[in-house]
Amino acid sequence: MEERSPTVADVLSVIEAWAPREIAWQKDNVGHLVGRRGVEVRRILVALDVTDEVIAEARHIGAQLLVTHHPLIFQPILSVTDQSRVGRLLLRLTESNIALIVAHTNLDFSKDGVSMALARALGLQELRFLHTEQGKLEKIAVFVPKDHVDTVSEAMARAGAGIIGEYSNCSFRVEGTGTFKPSERAHPFVGSPGTLEHVDEIRLEMILPSWKRIDVIEAMKAVHPYEEVAYDVYPLVNADPNYGAGVIGRLPKPVRAESFLRHIRRQLHVEHLRYVKGKSSTIQSVAVCGGACSDLIKAAIQQNADALVTADISYHTFQEAEGSIFLVDAGHFETEAVVVSPFALRLERELKQQGFSVSVIVSKEMKNPVQWL
């Protein structure tokens, strides 16, 4: 069979299967922002931002799709003309027939997202999210005749139910007796109209992200033998371990604060760091968050991080943190650019696993707009 190119919609669904739009910050603007969904994509360029240089590069390599981290369109746009930066870039994209997909805070909050990439770039180990709250979990309980329980749970798992951390197909089953009396108009799988039935059933429970609810219920009903399926869906207050903000991990061995700073500069290719000293002069437990994450300082201190590496830290935030945590501002661009290569690699791998022929290329034209003297 000849390999086919994915469409923009195919690429979007691969990205959103691992960085679902539902976990993005409410006011964010992620997903497919420019272009036609059905266009075939043979080359994808991945970058942090849409800039004139990046669009020129996409044209030069013949890319049909640009995937960036920062949304080009964020505020409501009243006109698309060459009189504004966003308007000019949108015109250039559309005139060049280049579509745009954005994975922003949905990528921040995912495994293999921005903070995970930053933690790996700094050589941290034993990584876990610093703050988990982003996922919204529900529990579905469905009543299934015994001999259909595996078929039903398998279908629900395929639709996205039963994932807890690195475990899939998680379910709980308990036996009981279901009763029902079909009406004259019913077409029961077991029993007959007007007669009270007692049937051995399993109460099958599975966890699911709320945005998968419709898919899971449809998949469950499609293989459930009953005409009327009895099921309950409950909202949960549990945090979803699959999604979170910031990452905490450990350096392989404790290092002096000064050598930790040099390590950051080297690994993130950053010329200047801003920082305040924390409690200890050695660092081992390190929290990181790509981009502006001053709101995670408390969580990092609570979890005994010696240091927090993030960006866009204000003077007063530094003042508050001094003496409590070694707080480092390593630059917005530098703490986020580390995600681009691993993102491109995973995107290409997953598209190829689905049988698509496509190349995903990392931009060479990304640059920090902020200069230092």
Name the site residues for Zn ion (rule: CB under 5 A): 291, 336
CB of 226 to Zn ion, least distance (A): 49
Query: What does each C-alpha distance from 22 to 27, 109, 341, 373 come to in angstroms?
Result: 11, 11, 24, 41
Q: Are 249 and 257 in contact (CB under 8 A)?
A: no
CB of 112 to Zn ion, least distance (A): 17
CB of 114 to Zn ion, least distance (A): 8
| Between 326 and 333, CB nearer to Zn ion | 333
| Between 16 and 336, CB nearer to Zn ion | 336
Best CA proximity match to 279, nearest among 237, 315, 324? 324
Q: Count CB-CB contacts under 10 A for residue 73.
A: 16
| Between 8 and 89, CB nearer to Zn ion | 89
| Between 114 and 251, CB nearer to Zn ion | 114
| Between 19 and 358, CB nearer to Zn ion | 19
The helix/strand/coil state of 95 is: helix
Q: Which residue is nearest to Zn ion (CB)?
A: 291
| Between 135 and 291, CB nearer to Zn ion | 291
User: Order of strands, edge to edge, in the sheet holding 326-329?
Assistant: 125-131, 245-256, 282-292, 307-311, 326-329, 274-276
- Cα radius of gyration rounded to whole Å, the chain: 25
Best CA proximity match to 161, nearest among 203, 124, 208, 120? 208
| Between 54 and 219, CB nearer to Zn ion | 54
CB of 304 to Zn ion, least distance (A): 27
DSSP bridge pairs for 283: 255
| Between 104 and 131, CB nearer to Zn ion | 104
Best CA proximity match to 106, nearest among 29, 212, 8, 165? 29
Q: Count CB-CB contacts under 10 A for residue 312.
A: 13
Query: What does each C-alpha distance from 23 to 15, 103, 106, 204, 347 come to in angstroms?
Result: 13, 11, 5, 27, 19
Q: Tell me which amino acid residue 193 is.
A: P
